[in-house]
Amino acid sequence: MSSPHPLTPSPVQEVRERERGDDLQQTPLDARLASVPEEVFRPRPMARALFGLCLAALLFAVLLGVSVGAVSIPVTTVAHLLLARLSPFPATLNYPEMFSTILFDIRLPRVALMGLTGAALSAAGATYQGLFRNPLADPYLVGVASGAGLGATIIISMGLPVTGLGLMAVPVGAFLGGVLTVGLVVMMAQVGRTTPVTTLLLAGVAVGSFATAITTFWMLRSPDGMRRAFSWLLGGYAGGGWQPVWIVLPYLAVGLIVLQLNTRALNVLQLDEEQARQLGLNVNRLKLILVGAATLMTAAAVSFGGLIGFVGLVVPHALRMLGGPDYRRLIPLSALGGAAFLILADLIARTMFAPQELPVGVITALTGAPFFILLLRRLKRSVF
């Protein structure tokens, strides 16, 4: 009787390996991910101080954003007005009524919306960079910006009024355009039951370019709405009081919660997809969850703020260089840093050439483009 080949597993070995695989699948995912050494994602020395710095920067940006403008309001007056509004007891203030109207009806809603938009774009950018393992990735990589721009342009070209339901129709069209575009990209990128990153990127570029071409054609066919559409595409605040803030806030909250719940799995994904699968991680499902949450946040943000570039590229990468690649810290840090960054950019946009306002997308591009070039030069040195 011939003996089995030494490289061929015996029936006993096959049973043991199958039992080990069953034990691995039955082990809770958190326990399996806990086996990854912490040294891999050890924080940089100043990582702990970054939370305090980002919170301080956000508070400074908010106070500056609500104080500075065509009518300056002292910071102490802002503090008194806020305390009086939050206090359950009536208070007598010796300030002009105009200050209260400007603060609560104009500047605070604007600052809040810019903060939510910056947080959404930055957290989504950090997620895309980790998911694609590419520091040059940003929230618009899978076509969400192009789809949102197409949806908004179609609504704008209909000539609806800029108040009431007409104002709300533009963000609704942008949101639907962004979500439908990303859904099409994911469907095109699927290979069997998997969604490879390479095909996802290629599909995003192709669909995004097609949507941009249709947007340009639509603008040329509707010259009456071209100016308004062009202004929206450059990014900026369109007004609307507190209503846009309450609409964007739930999407941002849900997206951040979903991302934070998957940060440990995202850390494991940085090692290698094959290693992640060996740890029992469903890589394909994780990709769909992360892309869906980041796209939801981005589409909701650009629905009211327009297409604002470079926020999701500059802020996460700078914070990663300072605090390390651990996404358990990087996602919340990116949200805080992105909010502060966009509030300050919007402040510059509305005060640099006052009373004329620049689109905030111009300011972020002027800031982000040099950073992008420096980052590209750094990557070239490491590759070549």
Beta bridge partners of 194: 191
In a domain, residue 5? The reply is: no
In a domain, residue 122? The reply is: yes
Say what percent of the chain tops pLDDT 90. 19
Cis omega before residue 370 (within 30°)?
Answer: no
In a domain, residue 7? The reply is: no
Q: What is the mean pLDDT of residues 239-265?
A: 88
In a domain, residue 274? The reply is: yes
Between these two residues, 367 and 31, which has the higher pLDDT value?
A: 367
Where is average pLDDT lowest: 160-174, 279-293, 319-333, 348-362? 160-174
268 Cβ contact partners less than 8 Å away, ≥ 6 residues apart: 33, 36, 275, 276, 279, 281
For 24-37, how does the pLDDT look when each residue is reduced to its tens digit (9 = 90+)? 444 455 555 555 55
CB 252 within 8 A of CB 116: yes
Say what percent of the chain tops pLDDT 70. 76
CB 141 within 8 A of CB 332: no
Between these two residues, 90 and 252, which has the higher pLDDT value?
A: 252
Q: What is the mean pLDDT of residues 250-265?
A: 92
Phi, psi angle pair for 359, to nearest 5°: -60, 135
Between these two residues, 161 and 142, which has the higher pLDDT value?
A: 142
The pLDDT, as a whole number, for residue 116 is 94
The pLDDT, as a whole number, for residue 317 is 86
Say if residue 141's pLDDT is above 60. Answer: yes
Q: What is the DSSP letter of 142?
A: T
Alpha helices in the chain (DSSP H): 11-26, 29-33, 47-67, 75-86, 97-101, 108-132, 144-157, 165-189, 197-221, 226-234, 243-261, 263-269, 273-278, 283-305, 311-323, 327-351, 360-383
Confidence of residue 343 (pLDDT cuts 50, 70, 90): very high
Say if residue 101's pLDDT is above 80. Answer: yes
Say if residue 3's pLDDT is above 80. Answer: no
Task: Give the global pTM.
Answer: 0.81
In a domain, residue 232? The reply is: yes
In a domain, residue 66? The reply is: yes
CB 225 within 8 A of CB 159: yes
Q: What is the mean pLDDT of residues 235-246?
A: 76
In a domain, residue 218? The reply is: yes
CB 149 within 8 A of CB 215: yes
Say if residue 123's pLDDT is above 90. Answer: yes
CB 218 within 8 A of CB 154: yes
359 Cβ contact partners less than 8 Å away, ≥ 6 residues apart: 231, 234, 235, 236, 306, 349
The pLDDT, as a whole number, for residue 306 is 78
Q: Which two tokens stand for residue 191?
A: 């290979």
**DSSP states of 37-88 as a string?**
-GGGGPPPTTHHHHHHHHHHHHHHHHHHHHH-SSS---HHHHHHHHHHHH-S
For 163-206, how does the pLDDT look when each residue is reduced to its tens digit (9 = 90+)? 555 666 777 788 888 888 888 888 888 777 666 777 877 888 88
Beta bridge partners of 191: 194
The pLDDT, as a whole number, for residue 341 is 95
For 42-62, how does the pLDDT look when each residue is reduced to its tens digit (9 = 90+)? 556 666 788 999 999 999 999
Number of domains in the chain: 1
What single-letter amino acid sits at 363?
I
The pLDDT, as a whole number, for residue 58 is 96
In a domain, residue 365? The reply is: yes
CATH code, domain with 354: 1.10.3470.10
Q: Which domain holds residue 362?
A: 58-71+106-377
Where is average pLDDT lowest: 13-27, 200-214, 329-343, 357-371? 13-27
Q: What is the mean pLDDT of residues 86-101?
A: 74
**DSSP states of 329-367 as a string?**
HHHHHHHHHHHHHHHHHHHHHHHTTTTS---HHHHHHHH
Q: Which two tokens stand for residue 134?
A: 């590419």
